[in-house]
Structure 1
Amino acid sequence: MRTTQELFNLSGKTALVTGGSRGLGLQMALALGELGAKLVLTSRKQSDLDEAVALLKAQGIEAVAIAADLGKEAAIGPLVEAALEALGGQIDILVNNAGATWGAPAEDYPLEAWDKVMNLNVRSIFLLSQAVGKRSMIPRRSGRIINIASIAGLAGNGPGTMKTVAYNTSKAALINFTRTLAGEWGEYGINVNALAPGFFPSKLSAGVIKAMGEDKLAAAAPLQRLGGEEDLKGAVALFASDAGRHITGQVLAVDGGVSAV
Protein backbone atom coordinates (compact mmCIF):
# COMPACT_ATOMS: atom_id res chain seq x y z
CA MET A 1 0.00 0.00 0.00
CA ARG A 2 1.38 3.39 -1.01
CA THR A 3 1.63 6.31 1.36
CA THR A 4 -0.31 9.49 0.70
CA GLN A 5 2.89 11.21 -0.37
CA GLU A 6 3.53 8.43 -2.88
CA LEU A 7 0.00 8.77 -4.28
CA PHE A 8 0.63 12.43 -5.05
CA ASN A 9 4.06 11.79 -6.58
CA LEU A 10 4.17 12.59 -10.32
CA SER A 11 7.75 11.52 -10.97
CA GLY A 12 7.97 9.96 -14.43
CA LYS A 13 4.69 11.56 -15.52
CA THR A 14 4.29 14.12 -18.29
CA ALA A 15 1.89 17.03 -18.63
CA LEU A 16 0.71 19.45 -21.30
CA VAL A 17 -0.61 22.70 -19.82
CA THR A 18 -2.38 25.16 -22.10
CA GLY A 19 -2.38 28.82 -21.20
CA GLY A 20 0.56 27.84 -19.04
CA SER A 21 2.74 30.93 -19.37
CA ARG A 22 1.17 32.98 -16.57
CA GLY A 23 -1.63 33.25 -14.02
CA LEU A 24 -3.57 30.15 -13.11
CA GLY A 25 -1.91 28.08 -15.82
CA LEU A 26 1.56 28.80 -14.49
CA GLN A 27 0.42 28.16 -10.93
CA MET A 28 -0.85 24.72 -11.91
CA ALA A 29 2.26 24.00 -13.95
CA LEU A 30 4.36 24.77 -10.89
CA ALA A 31 2.29 22.36 -8.82
CA LEU A 32 2.69 19.52 -11.31
CA GLY A 33 6.38 20.20 -11.77
CA GLU A 34 7.03 20.38 -8.04
CA LEU A 35 5.52 16.90 -7.75
CA GLY A 36 7.91 15.57 -10.39
CA ALA A 37 6.10 15.86 -13.72
CA LYS A 38 7.90 16.85 -16.92
CA LEU A 39 6.05 19.72 -18.57
CA VAL A 40 5.16 21.24 -21.90
CA LEU A 41 3.66 24.70 -21.63
CA THR A 42 1.79 26.29 -24.48
CA SER A 43 0.25 29.70 -25.17
CA ARG A 44 0.28 32.15 -28.05
CA LYS A 45 3.28 34.30 -27.08
CA GLN A 46 6.74 32.76 -27.15
CA SER A 47 8.21 35.52 -24.98
CA ASP A 48 5.75 34.81 -22.15
CA LEU A 49 6.46 31.10 -22.44
CA ASP A 50 10.20 31.64 -22.30
CA GLU A 51 9.83 33.59 -19.04
CA ALA A 52 7.65 30.87 -17.54
CA VAL A 53 10.02 28.08 -18.53
CA ALA A 54 12.96 30.00 -17.08
CA LEU A 55 11.08 30.34 -13.79
CA LEU A 56 10.28 26.62 -13.73
CA LYS A 57 13.83 25.57 -14.60
CA ALA A 58 15.19 27.81 -11.84
CA GLN A 59 13.22 25.62 -9.45
CA GLY A 60 14.58 22.40 -10.90
CA ILE A 61 11.48 21.60 -12.97
CA GLU A 62 11.93 20.10 -16.44
CA ALA A 63 9.85 22.15 -18.87
CA VAL A 64 9.60 22.97 -22.57
CA ALA A 65 7.67 25.76 -24.32
CA ILE A 66 5.71 25.36 -27.54
CA ALA A 67 3.89 28.42 -28.86
CA ALA A 68 0.51 27.72 -30.47
CA ASP A 69 -2.75 29.55 -31.11
CA LEU A 70 -5.38 27.05 -29.98
CA GLY A 71 -8.09 29.19 -31.52
CA LYS A 72 -6.88 27.84 -34.86
CA GLU A 73 -7.84 24.24 -35.58
CA ALA A 74 -4.73 23.74 -37.73
CA ALA A 75 -2.52 24.36 -34.69
CA ILE A 76 -3.89 21.44 -32.64
CA GLY A 77 -2.29 18.50 -34.46
CA PRO A 78 1.21 19.98 -34.71
CA LEU A 79 1.08 20.99 -31.03
CA VAL A 80 0.20 17.46 -29.93
CA GLU A 81 2.92 15.95 -32.12
CA ALA A 82 5.53 18.40 -30.84
CA ALA A 83 4.46 17.83 -27.24
CA LEU A 84 4.65 14.06 -27.64
CA GLU A 85 8.15 14.38 -29.07
CA ALA A 86 9.25 16.65 -26.23
CA LEU A 87 7.71 14.40 -23.58
CA GLY A 88 9.12 11.10 -24.79
CA GLY A 89 6.08 9.87 -26.65
CA GLN A 90 3.32 10.17 -24.08
CA ILE A 91 1.09 12.77 -22.44
CA ASP A 92 -0.15 11.57 -19.06
CA ILE A 93 -1.85 14.77 -17.94
CA LEU A 94 -3.67 17.39 -20.03
CA VAL A 95 -4.64 20.65 -18.36
CA ASN A 96 -7.05 22.59 -20.58
CA ASN A 97 -6.61 26.06 -19.16
CA ALA A 98 -6.41 28.42 -22.16
CA GLY A 99 -9.48 30.62 -22.42
CA ALA A 100 -10.89 33.99 -23.39
CA THR A 101 -13.64 36.34 -22.27
CA TRP A 102 -15.43 39.40 -23.61
CA GLY A 103 -17.73 41.79 -21.80
CA ALA A 104 -20.83 43.32 -23.38
CA PRO A 105 -24.59 43.38 -22.72
CA ALA A 106 -26.32 40.33 -24.19
CA GLU A 107 -28.55 42.45 -26.42
CA ASP A 108 -25.51 44.09 -28.02
CA TYR A 109 -23.08 41.19 -27.83
CA PRO A 110 -21.01 41.01 -31.05
CA LEU A 111 -21.27 37.71 -32.89
CA GLU A 112 -17.54 37.88 -33.58
CA ALA A 113 -16.86 38.02 -29.84
CA TRP A 114 -19.29 35.17 -29.16
CA ASP A 115 -17.56 32.99 -31.74
CA LYS A 116 -14.08 33.85 -30.43
CA VAL A 117 -14.96 32.92 -26.85
CA MET A 118 -16.84 29.74 -27.74
CA ASN A 119 -14.12 28.67 -30.18
CA LEU A 120 -11.30 28.88 -27.64
CA ASN A 121 -13.22 27.92 -24.49
CA VAL A 122 -15.11 24.94 -25.91
CA ARG A 123 -14.19 23.91 -29.45
CA SER A 124 -10.42 23.99 -28.98
CA ILE A 125 -10.69 21.98 -25.75
CA PHE A 126 -12.72 19.32 -27.52
CA LEU A 127 -10.22 19.16 -30.39
CA LEU A 128 -7.17 19.04 -28.14
CA SER A 129 -8.67 16.45 -25.80
CA GLN A 130 -9.69 14.34 -28.78
CA ALA A 131 -6.20 14.53 -30.29
CA VAL A 132 -4.39 13.74 -27.03
CA GLY A 133 -6.86 10.94 -26.30
CA LYS A 134 -6.41 9.28 -29.67
CA ARG A 135 -2.64 9.76 -29.89
CA SER A 136 -1.64 8.93 -26.33
CA MET A 137 -4.19 8.24 -23.62
CA ILE A 138 -6.60 5.77 -25.22
CA PRO A 139 -3.87 3.49 -26.65
CA ARG A 140 -2.17 3.37 -23.25
CA ARG A 141 -5.52 3.14 -21.39
CA SER A 142 -4.41 5.81 -18.94
CA GLY A 143 -4.64 9.56 -18.57
CA ARG A 144 -5.83 12.56 -16.62
CA ILE A 145 -7.69 15.44 -18.28
CA ILE A 146 -8.32 18.53 -16.16
CA ASN A 147 -10.56 21.20 -17.65
CA ILE A 148 -10.48 24.67 -16.15
CA ALA A 149 -14.06 25.87 -16.00
CA SER A 150 -15.30 28.67 -13.72
CA ILE A 151 -17.99 29.34 -11.16
CA ALA A 152 -19.39 31.56 -13.93
CA GLY A 153 -20.46 28.27 -15.55
CA LEU A 154 -22.55 27.36 -12.51
CA ALA A 155 -24.90 30.37 -12.51
CA GLY A 156 -25.89 33.50 -14.36
CA ASN A 157 -24.96 37.10 -13.63
CA GLY A 158 -27.06 39.22 -11.32
CA PRO A 159 -27.99 42.87 -11.90
CA GLY A 160 -25.08 45.23 -11.74
CA THR A 161 -22.48 42.51 -12.13
CA MET A 162 -20.61 41.07 -15.11
CA LYS A 163 -22.01 41.04 -18.63
CA THR A 164 -20.25 37.98 -19.98
CA VAL A 165 -22.91 35.86 -21.66
CA ALA A 166 -20.51 33.97 -23.93
CA TYR A 167 -17.98 33.25 -21.18
CA ASN A 168 -20.63 31.92 -18.79
CA THR A 169 -22.18 29.82 -21.54
CA SER A 170 -18.82 28.41 -22.58
CA LYS A 171 -17.88 27.41 -19.05
CA ALA A 172 -21.25 25.73 -18.49
CA ALA A 173 -20.68 23.80 -21.72
CA LEU A 174 -17.20 22.82 -20.54
CA ILE A 175 -18.62 21.45 -17.30
CA ASN A 176 -20.99 19.12 -19.13
CA PHE A 177 -18.29 18.25 -21.65
CA THR A 178 -16.23 17.12 -18.65
CA ARG A 179 -19.02 14.89 -17.37
CA THR A 180 -19.79 13.45 -20.78
CA LEU A 181 -16.16 12.70 -21.67
CA ALA A 182 -15.62 11.11 -18.25
CA GLY A 183 -18.54 8.79 -18.96
CA GLU A 184 -17.24 7.81 -22.37
CA TRP A 185 -13.54 7.48 -21.61
CA GLY A 186 -13.68 5.85 -18.20
CA GLU A 187 -13.41 2.45 -19.89
CA TYR A 188 -9.98 3.54 -21.14
CA GLY A 189 -8.73 4.37 -17.67
CA ILE A 190 -8.92 8.12 -18.35
CA ASN A 191 -10.10 10.42 -15.57
CA VAL A 192 -11.74 13.66 -16.69
CA ASN A 193 -12.49 16.35 -14.12
CA ALA A 194 -12.91 20.11 -13.96
CA LEU A 195 -11.84 22.88 -11.65
CA ALA A 196 -14.16 25.88 -11.31
CA PRO A 197 -12.12 28.77 -9.91
CA GLY A 198 -13.76 31.83 -8.45
CA PHE A 199 -12.09 35.21 -8.60
CA PHE A 200 -8.31 35.01 -8.82
CA PRO A 201 -6.28 38.09 -9.82
CA SER A 202 -5.17 37.46 -13.40
CA LYS A 203 -5.05 39.17 -16.77
CA LEU A 204 -8.36 37.53 -17.72
CA SER A 205 -10.17 38.73 -14.59
CA ALA A 206 -8.43 42.08 -14.12
CA GLY A 207 -11.16 44.12 -15.80
CA VAL A 208 -13.98 42.55 -13.80
CA ILE A 209 -12.11 42.85 -10.50
CA LYS A 210 -11.37 46.51 -11.20
CA ALA A 211 -14.96 47.25 -12.20
CA MET A 212 -16.58 45.44 -9.28
CA GLY A 213 -13.95 46.15 -6.64
CA GLU A 214 -11.61 43.64 -5.01
CA ASP A 215 -12.94 44.37 -1.52
CA LYS A 216 -16.54 43.87 -2.64
CA LEU A 217 -15.75 40.58 -4.33
CA ALA A 218 -13.80 39.33 -1.32
CA ALA A 219 -16.63 40.29 1.01
CA ALA A 220 -19.03 38.13 -1.02
CA ALA A 221 -16.97 35.01 -0.27
CA PRO A 222 -17.44 33.11 3.01
CA LEU A 223 -13.64 33.01 3.36
CA GLN A 224 -13.52 36.80 2.78
CA ARG A 225 -10.71 36.67 0.22
CA LEU A 226 -9.93 36.22 -3.45
CA GLY A 227 -7.94 33.27 -4.72
CA GLY A 228 -4.17 33.41 -4.29
CA GLU A 229 -1.04 32.14 -5.98
CA GLU A 230 -1.16 28.76 -4.20
CA ASP A 231 -4.88 28.08 -4.03
CA LEU A 232 -5.21 25.88 -7.13
CA LYS A 233 -2.11 23.81 -6.46
CA GLY A 234 -3.67 21.19 -4.21
CA ALA A 235 -6.75 20.76 -6.37
CA VAL A 236 -4.84 20.21 -9.61
CA ALA A 237 -2.45 17.85 -7.81
CA LEU A 238 -5.39 15.74 -6.64
CA PHE A 239 -6.93 15.42 -10.09
CA ALA A 240 -3.57 14.81 -11.81
CA SER A 241 -2.26 12.13 -9.47
CA ASP A 242 -3.18 8.68 -8.21
CA ALA A 243 -4.55 10.36 -5.10
CA GLY A 244 -7.58 11.11 -7.28
CA ARG A 245 -7.66 7.93 -9.36
CA HIS A 246 -11.24 7.07 -8.28
CA ILE A 247 -12.55 10.58 -9.04
CA THR A 248 -13.95 11.34 -12.49
CA GLY A 249 -16.67 13.49 -14.00
CA GLN A 250 -16.52 15.92 -11.10
CA VAL A 251 -16.40 19.70 -10.86
CA LEU A 252 -14.55 21.21 -7.90
CA ALA A 253 -15.21 24.87 -7.14
CA VAL A 254 -12.16 26.67 -5.78
CA ASP A 255 -13.84 29.94 -4.91
CA GLY A 256 -13.67 30.68 -1.20
CA GLY A 257 -17.18 29.33 -0.82
CA VAL A 258 -18.94 31.76 -3.19
CA SER A 259 -20.86 29.03 -5.01
CA ALA A 260 -21.99 27.45 -1.74
CA VAL A 261 -24.06 30.40 -0.50
Structure 2
Amino acid sequence: MTPDTRTPIDNTLSGRVAIVTGGSRGIGRAVALALGRAGVHVAVNYHSDEAAAREVCARIEAMGSRAVAIRADVGEADDVAALVRKARDTLGTVTVLVNNAGISRLVPLDRIELQDWNDLLRTNLTSAFLMTQAVLPPMRQARWGRIINMSSIAAQTGGVIGPHYAASKAGMLGLTHSYANLLAREGITVNAIAPALIESDMIANNPAIRPDMIPMGRFGTADEVADLTVATLRNGYVTGQTINLNGGWYMN
Protein backbone atom coordinates (compact mmCIF):
# COMPACT_ATOMS: atom_id res chain seq x y z
CA MET A 1 0.00 0.00 0.00
CA THR A 2 1.35 3.42 -0.95
CA PRO A 3 1.71 5.64 2.13
CA ASP A 4 -0.38 8.83 2.26
CA THR A 5 2.17 11.66 2.10
CA ARG A 6 -0.32 14.50 1.91
CA THR A 7 -0.04 17.29 4.47
CA PRO A 8 -2.59 16.68 7.27
CA ILE A 9 -5.52 19.06 7.22
CA ASP A 10 -5.55 21.25 10.32
CA ASN A 11 -8.83 23.03 11.01
CA THR A 12 -8.23 23.34 14.74
CA LEU A 13 -9.24 26.69 16.20
CA SER A 14 -8.34 26.05 19.83
CA GLY A 15 -5.14 27.86 20.76
CA ARG A 16 -5.26 30.16 17.73
CA VAL A 17 -5.13 33.94 18.06
CA ALA A 18 -7.85 36.12 16.52
CA ILE A 19 -8.56 39.79 16.04
CA VAL A 20 -12.20 40.84 15.91
CA THR A 21 -12.62 44.43 14.77
CA GLY A 22 -15.56 46.25 16.28
CA GLY A 23 -15.61 43.53 18.91
CA SER A 24 -17.09 45.45 21.83
CA ARG A 25 -20.74 45.32 20.79
CA GLY A 26 -23.34 43.74 18.55
CA ILE A 27 -22.22 41.08 16.10
CA GLY A 28 -18.55 41.64 16.89
CA ARG A 29 -19.13 41.03 20.58
CA ALA A 30 -21.03 37.80 19.90
CA VAL A 31 -18.29 36.60 17.54
CA ALA A 32 -15.54 37.38 20.06
CA LEU A 33 -17.38 35.43 22.77
CA ALA A 34 -18.04 32.49 20.45
CA LEU A 35 -14.35 32.36 19.54
CA GLY A 36 -13.45 32.42 23.23
CA ARG A 37 -15.75 29.43 23.81
CA ALA A 38 -13.94 27.65 20.96
CA GLY A 39 -10.62 28.08 22.76
CA VAL A 40 -9.38 30.99 20.65
CA HIS A 41 -7.41 33.81 22.26
CA VAL A 42 -9.06 37.05 21.16
CA ALA A 43 -7.91 40.63 20.63
CA VAL A 44 -11.10 42.65 21.00
CA ASN A 45 -10.76 45.82 18.96
CA TYR A 46 -12.88 48.83 19.88
CA HIS A 47 -13.06 52.46 18.83
CA SER A 48 -14.54 54.29 21.81
CA ASP A 49 -16.22 52.05 24.41
CA GLU A 50 -13.32 50.68 26.45
CA ALA A 51 -15.55 49.46 29.28
CA ALA A 52 -17.62 47.32 26.91
CA ALA A 53 -14.48 45.84 25.32
CA ARG A 54 -13.01 44.99 28.70
CA GLU A 55 -16.27 43.31 29.72
CA VAL A 56 -16.05 41.09 26.63
CA CYS A 57 -12.46 40.24 27.52
CA ALA A 58 -13.43 39.36 31.08
CA ARG A 59 -16.08 36.94 29.81
CA ILE A 60 -13.62 35.33 27.41
CA GLU A 61 -11.04 34.90 30.16
CA ALA A 62 -13.70 33.32 32.37
CA MET A 63 -14.05 30.65 29.67
CA GLY A 64 -10.35 29.84 29.93
CA SER A 65 -9.10 31.69 26.85
CA ARG A 66 -6.94 34.81 26.89
CA ALA A 67 -8.12 38.20 25.65
CA VAL A 68 -7.01 41.80 25.33
CA ALA A 69 -8.96 44.97 24.54
CA ILE A 70 -7.17 47.19 22.01
CA ARG A 71 -8.36 50.61 20.91
CA ALA A 72 -7.75 51.42 17.25
CA ASP A 73 -9.35 53.31 14.40
CA VAL A 74 -9.10 50.53 11.84
CA GLY A 75 -9.55 52.98 8.99
CA GLU A 76 -6.08 54.37 9.82
CA ALA A 77 -3.00 52.45 8.69
CA ASP A 78 -0.88 53.45 11.70
CA ASP A 79 -3.60 52.36 14.13
CA VAL A 80 -3.96 49.05 12.31
CA ALA A 81 -0.22 48.36 12.51
CA ALA A 82 -0.24 49.13 16.24
CA LEU A 83 -3.31 46.92 16.79
CA VAL A 84 -1.76 43.90 15.08
CA ARG A 85 1.55 44.43 16.86
CA LYS A 86 -0.07 44.63 20.31
CA ALA A 87 -2.25 41.59 19.62
CA ARG A 88 0.84 39.62 18.59
CA ASP A 89 2.92 40.77 21.54
CA THR A 90 0.14 40.02 24.04
CA LEU A 91 -1.46 36.87 22.66
CA GLY A 92 0.78 35.48 19.90
CA THR A 93 0.79 35.35 16.12
CA VAL A 94 -2.58 36.30 14.63
CA THR A 95 -3.97 33.66 12.26
CA VAL A 96 -7.69 34.44 12.49
CA LEU A 97 -9.22 37.77 11.46
CA VAL A 98 -12.85 38.85 11.55
CA ASN A 99 -13.35 42.16 9.75
CA ASN A 100 -16.52 43.25 11.50
CA ALA A 101 -16.02 46.98 12.14
CA GLY A 102 -18.66 49.00 10.38
CA ILE A 103 -21.00 51.95 10.55
CA SER A 104 -24.25 52.90 8.88
CA ARG A 105 -25.65 56.35 8.29
CA LEU A 106 -29.30 56.77 7.40
CA VAL A 107 -29.54 59.83 5.15
CA PRO A 108 -32.28 60.71 2.62
CA LEU A 109 -31.08 59.94 -0.89
CA ASP A 110 -30.98 63.59 -1.98
CA ARG A 111 -28.93 64.54 1.09
CA ILE A 112 -26.15 61.98 0.87
CA GLU A 113 -22.90 63.91 0.60
CA LEU A 114 -19.35 63.02 -0.32
CA GLN A 115 -18.41 62.96 3.37
CA ASP A 116 -21.03 60.26 4.01
CA TRP A 117 -19.62 58.22 1.14
CA ASN A 118 -16.02 58.65 2.30
CA ASP A 119 -16.80 57.87 5.95
CA LEU A 120 -18.58 54.61 5.18
CA LEU A 121 -16.06 53.41 2.59
CA ARG A 122 -13.22 54.17 5.03
CA THR A 123 -14.74 52.41 8.05
CA ASN A 124 -16.50 49.53 6.33
CA LEU A 125 -14.18 48.67 3.42
CA THR A 126 -10.77 50.33 3.71
CA SER A 127 -10.48 48.93 7.24
CA ALA A 128 -10.90 45.38 5.93
CA PHE A 129 -8.17 45.93 3.35
CA LEU A 130 -5.77 47.45 5.89
CA MET A 131 -6.40 44.73 8.47
CA THR A 132 -6.02 41.91 5.95
CA GLN A 133 -2.77 43.29 4.56
CA ALA A 134 -1.42 43.64 8.10
CA VAL A 135 -2.11 40.06 9.20
CA LEU A 136 -1.22 38.27 5.97
CA PRO A 137 2.59 38.01 6.33
CA PRO A 138 2.54 35.66 9.37
CA MET A 139 -0.42 33.74 7.94
CA ARG A 140 1.47 33.15 4.69
CA GLN A 141 4.57 32.13 6.57
CA ALA A 142 2.55 29.64 8.63
CA ARG A 143 0.57 28.56 5.55
CA TRP A 144 -2.59 28.73 7.67
CA GLY A 145 -5.10 31.51 8.13
CA ARG A 146 -8.81 32.24 8.35
CA ILE A 147 -10.41 35.55 7.38
CA ILE A 148 -14.09 36.50 7.58
CA ASN A 149 -15.41 39.75 6.10
CA MET A 150 -18.75 40.81 7.58
CA SER A 151 -20.73 42.12 4.63
CA SER A 152 -24.51 42.60 4.36
CA ILE A 153 -27.54 41.76 2.27
CA ALA A 154 -27.22 45.39 1.13
CA ALA A 155 -24.37 44.23 -1.12
CA GLN A 156 -26.84 42.00 -2.99
CA THR A 157 -30.11 43.95 -2.94
CA GLY A 158 -29.13 47.57 -2.24
CA GLY A 159 -30.52 47.30 1.27
CA VAL A 160 -32.51 49.91 3.17
CA ILE A 161 -29.82 52.41 4.20
CA GLY A 162 -28.49 53.86 0.97
CA PRO A 163 -25.96 53.55 -1.85
CA HIS A 164 -23.06 54.65 0.35
CA TYR A 165 -23.65 51.70 2.70
CA ALA A 166 -24.50 49.22 -0.06
CA ALA A 167 -21.34 50.07 -2.00
CA SER A 168 -19.14 49.65 1.07
CA LYS A 169 -20.58 46.20 1.73
CA ALA A 170 -20.49 45.15 -1.93
CA GLY A 171 -16.83 46.11 -2.02
CA MET A 172 -16.18 43.58 0.72
CA LEU A 173 -17.41 40.82 -1.58
CA GLY A 174 -14.92 41.79 -4.29
CA LEU A 175 -12.21 41.99 -1.66
CA THR A 176 -13.15 38.52 -0.44
CA HIS A 177 -13.08 37.00 -3.92
CA SER A 178 -9.68 38.46 -4.78
CA TYR A 179 -7.93 37.45 -1.56
CA ALA A 180 -9.53 33.99 -1.64
CA ASN A 181 -8.34 33.40 -5.19
CA LEU A 182 -4.81 34.65 -4.51
CA LEU A 183 -4.37 32.73 -1.26
CA ALA A 184 -6.19 29.45 -1.91
CA ARG A 185 -2.99 27.45 -2.34
CA GLU A 186 -1.42 28.85 0.83
CA GLY A 187 -3.75 27.34 3.43
CA ILE A 188 -5.60 30.64 3.94
CA THR A 189 -9.37 30.86 3.48
CA VAL A 190 -11.27 34.11 2.99
CA ASN A 191 -15.06 34.24 3.13
CA ALA A 192 -17.82 36.80 3.56
CA ILE A 193 -20.94 36.56 5.66
CA ALA A 194 -23.91 38.63 4.53
CA PRO A 195 -26.44 39.07 7.36
CA ALA A 196 -29.77 40.84 7.12
CA LEU A 197 -31.69 42.62 9.86
CA ILE A 198 -29.79 41.34 12.87
CA GLU A 199 -30.96 42.71 16.22
CA SER A 200 -28.47 45.51 16.90
CA ASP A 201 -28.06 49.24 17.39
CA MET A 202 -27.67 49.56 13.61
CA ILE A 203 -31.29 48.64 12.90
CA ALA A 204 -32.82 49.99 16.11
CA ASN A 205 -32.65 53.58 14.86
CA ASN A 206 -34.15 52.94 11.43
CA PRO A 207 -37.97 53.22 11.47
CA ALA A 208 -38.15 51.71 7.97
CA ILE A 209 -36.92 48.35 9.25
CA ARG A 210 -39.59 45.89 10.43
CA PRO A 211 -39.52 42.17 11.26
CA ASP A 212 -42.22 41.47 8.66
CA MET A 213 -39.72 42.38 5.92
CA ILE A 214 -38.11 38.99 6.61
CA PRO A 215 -39.91 35.86 5.32
CA MET A 216 -39.27 34.17 8.67
CA GLY A 217 -41.04 37.09 10.36
CA ARG A 218 -38.30 37.95 12.84
CA PHE A 219 -34.94 39.62 13.13
CA GLY A 220 -31.84 37.46 13.35
CA THR A 221 -29.65 37.43 16.44
CA ALA A 222 -25.98 38.24 16.85
CA ASP A 223 -25.46 34.77 18.31
CA GLU A 224 -26.74 33.21 15.09
CA VAL A 225 -24.18 35.22 13.11
CA ALA A 226 -21.46 34.22 15.57
CA ASP A 227 -22.32 30.51 15.32
CA LEU A 228 -22.07 30.65 11.52
CA THR A 229 -18.83 32.61 11.70
CA VAL A 230 -17.12 30.02 13.91
CA ALA A 231 -18.42 27.13 11.78
CA THR A 232 -17.02 28.80 8.65
CA LEU A 233 -13.68 29.47 10.32
CA ARG A 234 -13.47 25.78 11.24
CA ASN A 235 -13.92 24.61 7.65
CA GLY A 236 -10.73 24.69 5.61
CA TYR A 237 -12.44 23.77 2.32
CA VAL A 238 -14.76 26.78 2.12
CA THR A 239 -13.20 29.87 0.55
CA GLY A 240 -14.30 32.76 -1.64
CA GLN A 241 -17.93 32.31 -0.61
CA THR A 242 -20.62 34.74 0.45
CA ILE A 243 -22.66 32.94 3.11
CA ASN A 244 -26.15 34.34 3.52
CA LEU A 245 -27.83 34.70 6.88
CA ASN A 246 -31.03 36.59 6.20
CA GLY A 247 -34.13 34.64 7.18
CA GLY A 248 -34.96 33.91 3.54
CA TRP A 249 -35.01 37.52 2.33
CA TYR A 250 -32.43 36.93 -0.39
CA MET A 251 -31.84 33.47 -1.86
CA ASN A 252 -29.21 32.22 -4.27
TM-score of the pair, normalised by structure 1: 0.87
Question: What SS does structure 2 have at the residue aligned with 1:195?
Answer: strand
1:77 alignment counterpart? 81
Distance 1:140 1:8, change over 3 A: closer
Q: Distance in 1 between matches of 2:41 and 2:142?
A: 18
1:207 to 205, 208, 211: 205
Letter in 2 for 1:22: R
2:127 alignment counterpart? 124
Question: What SS does structure 1 have at the residue aligned with 2:223?
Answer: coil
Alignment of 1:133-212 (within 5 A): 133-134=136-137, 136-157=138-159, 162-208=160-206, 211-212=207-208
Q: Distance in 1 between matches of 2:249 and 2:128?
A: 26
Answering whether residue 24 of structure 2 is matched by residue 21 of structure 1, we say yes
Asked whether the equivalents of residues 175 and 251 of structure 1 are also in contact (C-alpha less than 8 Å), the reply is yes
2:72 to 61, 64, 68: 68
Q: Distance in 2 between matches of 1:251 and 1:72?
A: 26
1:238 alignment counterpart? 231
Q: Distance in 1 between matches of 2:101 and 2:200?
A: 13
Structure 2: unaligned runs, 5 residues or longer: 1-9
Letter in 2 for 1:201: E
Asked whether the equivalents of residues 148 and 194 of structure 1 are also in contact (C-alpha less than 8 Å), the reply is yes
2:242 to 224, 238, 251: 251
Shift in Å, 1:233? 2.7
Shift in Å, 1:9? 5.2
Shift in Å, 1:190? 0.6
C-alpha RMSD of the superposition? 1.7
Shift in Å, 1:188? 1.6
The runs of at least 4 consecutive aligned structure 1 residues that moved more than 4 Å come to none
Cα distance per residue 1:149-206 (max 9 Å; x no partner): 000111124xxxx342111110011011101110011122110001111111212222
Question: What SS does structure 1 have at the residue aligned with 2:205?
Answer: helix
Asked whether the equivalents of residues 9 and 36 of structure 1 are also in contact (C-alpha less than 8 Å), the reply is no
Shift in Å, 1:61? 3.4
Asked whether the equivalents of residues 106 and 163 of structure 1 are also in contact (C-alpha less than 8 Å), the reply is no
2:110 alignment counterpart? 107
Shift in Å, 1:80? 0.9
- Percent identity for Structure 1 against Structure 2: 35
Q: Distance in 2 between matches of 1:203 and 1:33?
A: 23
Letter in 2 for 1:171: K
Structure 1: unaligned runs, 5 residues or longer: 1-6
Asked whether the equivalents of residues 9 and 35 of structure 1 are also in contact (C-alpha less than 8 Å), the reply is no
Asked whether the equivalents of residues 178 and 192 of structure 1 are also in contact (C-alpha less than 8 Å), the reply is yes
